[in-house]
Structure 1
Amino acid sequence: MQKLKLIYPLMAILLLAACSKKEEHAAVTIPGIIPKPVSLTPGNGHLHWDGSVAIIAKSADEKNVGELLATFLKAKNIDASIAEFSEDKNQIALYTAEDTTLHNEGYKLTIDEKGVSIQANNGAGLFYGAQTLLQLLTENSKEVPFVTITDYPRFAYRGLHLDVGRHMFPPEFIKKYIDLLAHHKFNRFHWHLTEDQGWRIEIKKYPKLQEIGAYRKETVIGHARTADRNDKKNYDGKRYGGFYTQEEVKEIVKYAADRYVTIIPEIELPGHALAALSAYPSLGCTGGPYEAATTWGVFDDVFCAGKEETFQFLEGVLDEVVELFPSQYIHIGGDECPKTRWEKCPHCKKRMKEEKLKDTHELQSYFIQRIEKYLNSKNRQIIGWDEILEGGLAPNATVMSWRGEEGGIAAAKQNHDVIMTPGNWCYFDHYQDTSKTEPLAIGNYTPVSEVYSYEPVPPQLTTQEAKHILGAQANVWTEYIPTSDHVEYMVYPRACAMAEVVWSPKESRDYNDFLTRMNIHFKRLDEWKVNYAKHIRKETDSLNVSKN
């Protein structure tokens, strides 16, 4: 993949380095940084750029970050190259060195009359230091302020999700999505790849998933809650679908890894399976026929828990998934699985009798634990939505708590790791404004201020239990989000607020301060051609007026 697309337009100016004279005056004003760093000390001047730049890099991680910088400098006709040593002041020094004060993924960025240096314990820290450097560029891109920043994340897991099952987005947009989340120091991209409405990943062992399961015959028009599902006039009559080839997936996984983002794939089971059943109807309790859903919601037809064929199929799918995705975690869904078919299915009844399961909730637990055991045999771990708590939690499972915080609290008290993603704060498919001009959304109201107010560690937990809260994630479900521009509108600037929730120290967060910094950050979003929602610009403008 060409590295030209790797960072952002601003990177060009980047750097650095080219240093010239030190200005003697009072401490400079530092442009707003999102997310807010742990510690920032402004200096008394600026570093001006001219001439060529040497990017000092020796280790593999240093060279990876350095190559990204050099590529974008060259794209803007700035002579930049990787070097292992330079006596010239026009340099950016990247170096990894053990420093316990920086923590994992932390960095120290220093800009002074000697040039620019970024120190970190690992490549991720170097990368995040580079992202902060980008935000320090002045508007005319000719200089950066003298400053010393020491920074590291509050949480290890900082996630952003995207559902491509309901609506699919091209690989180039997925890369832009990764670019943006990486710039805001998120480190996990949760890729929701299968749904009732479409199967979006190529599985070579089961070609009908691509041929049949990847497509639905039409799509409901307007809000599914108010549409008559049996009235044809409420559908658009247009076949919809597609899938990502394994080569595309490999390319995107590599693209993310270069930016220190881990992609966590989600293969939904046992529910949300209509697209898969449309391709392989014998995997359902009734045998079909089935078709990929043309409207939104929860459907009774799910993978049959009583048939061995079901588990053979899912193991075959997961064999290919783990080859494509090196992440420790594989998300297996586990949510919204009606038990209607299982309660009547002779295969499921037989399974329950043989396994001594008292009800269908325990049957779901059996299903999840069996899949977990298989993935554990591949040296992987599962994440599931909080419904996997029902009927008994799989031994090594991590819980993603979405139906409020209760599931996460319960899991942490059972000594299971948790990722918080409760809908009230973390669902970016909700409305973000109350005006009637807003595009159709699933419902609810989650403005930027509410996202920013979220605290991932519930007060009910003890200090020991709280250690199981790995972090938080924002979710983007796309029933009513059909285009890439619409995705950006729903995600930004809410993702900027979530970035600060999961990165910055709890005690340093202040909403008015965030708005002040966002007033500068909007210009960066404009530079990157992000179709962000502008509702909070009214708040930032009024805040500026009050200050003046």
Structure 2
Amino acid sequence: MKKNLFLYCVFCLYCLFSENKILIIPRPKKITFEKEIYHFPAQSVKIHSSVRDMFLQEMQYLKIPVSTEEYNGQDFFCFWGSADLKNIDIMKKNISGKPHGYIMDISPAGIIIYGNDEGGLKYGLQSLLQLMEQSAAGVPCCRIEVWPDFVFRGFHTTLRKPDAYGCKTADETVGYYEWMIRRLARYKYTHLNLLVEFFTYKSRPEMGVLPWTEKEISRLVKFAAVSGIKIFPEIKTLGKFVRNIPPDRLVEFSALLEPRIYIGQLEYQAKYHDGYKAKAEKLESEQKARETEKTKKTPLSEDFKINKPGVLTFIKPVIDEIYEVFNQPEYFNIGCDESFYTAIEEKTDQRGKILATYVNNLAEHLQKKGCKVIMWDDMLTSHEQFPFFFETHGGPPLNTWTAVDYINKEVIIASWHYGYTVADHYPSTYPMIKWFTGKKFKVLGVPWFKIDNITNLVADVLNYGGIGIMGSSWAIHMAVRAAAGKNLTEAQIKVTEPRHELAVLAATAEAAWSPGRASEALAGYDPEAWEKKFLKIQHE
């Protein structure tokens, strides 16, 4: 009795609100309510071995002591004592249904979760953990039936420097990424794609010493694996990989880098966006000055000379090292976005083939390891074919978009679109999805922070046969700092406040799980305010 009272008090400490409804994110497709109430805690938990480590990790996080009382058969562990009292059973059964689906039955006597597969068991347990985090008084008895429309439900963000989170070391910063992984796990994401930019490479010591090392990344990969999230890396293999090298050291890489020759690459975007306009004007002015004063040396860009063999010799050891650091991941994102100087000194009609040859070389290198390759799509699309979209960087005058007809069809296309208005045209649909799937590519849709951008893009991915969704956030570190009470500059506040990027975790999860019901589900709660409650728990 004392043990049960203690457990009940622990739940009270973590009570965020008490009400007569269940809030599970993503919202279940079917719920049938009964009149009775189930009261925590359970006297025993019988759990399938495939989710045992996840259960133990999260009980430790919630500061709920558990012990293994008995071993029930080959596949199950039992916790918390007597099995003849109120139980929670999490088990795999051969029930019909889609991958990652589960059924949760909540009655006064206990909770039973049936998983269609091991994924279903994980997501059923995560739903149970959501109930445990938010309710001390108990939850209505009900039957919940849940299954996703997409099996791939990923999220993309950047592995940033510690000071981006107001930290001094990468080890301290790991806590923020663990918070994110835990929230992604609660919302039943499958993957996390981390852009690696500040890593100390053993294979390339000339890159210098940067904050992240194998130690911190390995810790994240291990934590994510127990949480049910598969982490995989992104490396900017086409350009921008060397952006963190001090300018005075770039000369060491001059043989590998394209010159910064401006031929109007940003002219289309500059018509509709002040930021692009300012950048284009600066580049054009610099270019004219160099042409007038021929003694001036053309500066280096951040883009590789991808038709030079030395680039592959340079980048493949980097890929191999990161592949091992991330524990031989299922996927590897080779980047290839926003590279405005790609093959700039080559003939216009050859740039697409040069890009495709480079991508295919990297893809073959990774596919030999059994790794699936992802690349961004913007260098493969043209504003002439898809007007009113900023995310089309392969059109004239660069003309790399022709690469699409030569790239290995096993390369997965991550089609990113942020829903910005261009020339008074607001994109409610994204025709690139249909175009890429029509060319027999597997396609991921990648939205950002606008809710209608998320829901509209996800709908197109579902309608046109895409394989999944990968949400994204480029400034969640600032939103986290603001919510945690850490100071931001006025410029950072101006960027952060309108975006509400904490909301994207739940919003994208809703859309990826049930595209047709996401707007309705999100109307029932404020995803940003919801997230702040759990951020407080992590860092208070």
TM-score (norm 1): 0.68
1:256-314 CA-to-partner distances (Å, cap 9, x unmatched) read 11111111210002112333665675544477999xxxx99798331122332211121
Is the 8 Å Cα contact of residues 54 and 83 (structure 1) preserved in structure 2? no
Is the 8 Å Cα contact of residues 243 and 302 (structure 2) preserved in structure 1? no
Inter-partner Cα distance in structure 2 for 1:362 and 1:201: 31
Inter-partner Cα distance in structure 1 for 2:256 and 2:92: 58
Is the 8 Å Cα contact of residues 483 and 532 (structure 2) preserved in structure 1? no
Question: Which residue is 1:477 aligned to?
Answer: 474
Alignment of 1:117-516 (within 5 A): 117-137=112-132, 141-164=136-159, 168-169=164-165, 170-194=173-197, 200-211=198-209, 242-275=210-243, 281-285=251-255, 300-325=301-326, 326-339=328-341, 342-344=343-345, 358-387=349-378, 389=380, 390=401, 391=403, 392-403=406-417, 405-421=430-446, 426-428=447-449, 446=450, 448=451, 450-451=452-453, 453-458=455-460, 466-467=464-465, 469-478=466-475, 484-486=480-482, 490-504=500-514, 506=516, 508-511=517-520, 514-516=522-524
Inter-partner Cα distance in structure 2 for 1:11 and 1:203: 48
Report the CA distance between 1:134 and its aligned residue.
Answer: 3.3
Report the CA distance between 1:83 and its aligned residue.
Answer: 4.0
Is the 8 Å Cα contact of residues 150 and 513 (structure 2) preserved in structure 1? yes
TM-score (norm 2): 0.69
What secondary structure does 2:124 align onto?
A: helix
Is the 8 Å Cα contact of residues 300 and 337 (structure 1) preserved in structure 2? no
Report the CA distance between 1:393 and its aligned residue.
Answer: 2.5
Is the 8 Å Cα contact of residues 331 and 384 (structure 1) preserved in structure 2? yes
Is the 8 Å Cα contact of residues 94 and 118 (structure 1) preserved in structure 2? yes
Inter-partner Cα distance in structure 1 for 2:518 and 2:340: 41
Question: Which residue is 1:84 aligned to?
Answer: 71
Change (3 A) 1:84 1:106: farther
Q: Which amino acid aligns with 1:515?
A: A
For structure 2, list consecutive stretches of 5 or more residues without a partner in the other structure: 1-6, 14-18, 73-81, 166-172, 261-274, 281-299, 381-400, 419-429, 485-495
What secondary structure does 1:192 align onto?
A: strand
Give aligned-pair identity as a percent. Answer: 21
Question: Which residue is 2:287 aligned to?
Answer: none
Change (3 A) 1:487 1:410: farther
Is the 8 Å Cα contact of residues 277 and 303 (structure 1) preserved in structure 2? no
Inter-partner Cα distance in structure 2 for 1:205 and 1:151: 45
Report the CA distance between 1:115 and its aligned residue.
Answer: 1.0
Report the CA distance between 1:415 and its aligned residue.
Answer: 1.1
Is the 8 Å Cα contact of residues 55 and 80 (structure 1) preserved in structure 2? no
Change (3 A) 1:93 1:287: closer
Inter-partner Cα distance in structure 1 for 2:9 and 2:440: 43
Report the CA distance between 1:45 and its aligned residue.
Answer: 0.8
The structure that is helix-richer by fraction is 2
1:376-414 CA-to-partner distances (Å, cap 9, x unmatched) read 111112111113532232331111112573433221001
For structure 1, list consecutive stretches of 5 or more residues without a partner in the other structure: 1-8, 16-27, 195-199, 212-241, 429-445, 532-548
Q: Which amino acid aligns with 1:93?
A: D
What secondary structure does 2:302 align onto?
A: coil
1:46 aligns with 2:37: yes
Is the 8 Å Cα contact of residues 55 and 83 (structure 1) preserved in structure 2? no
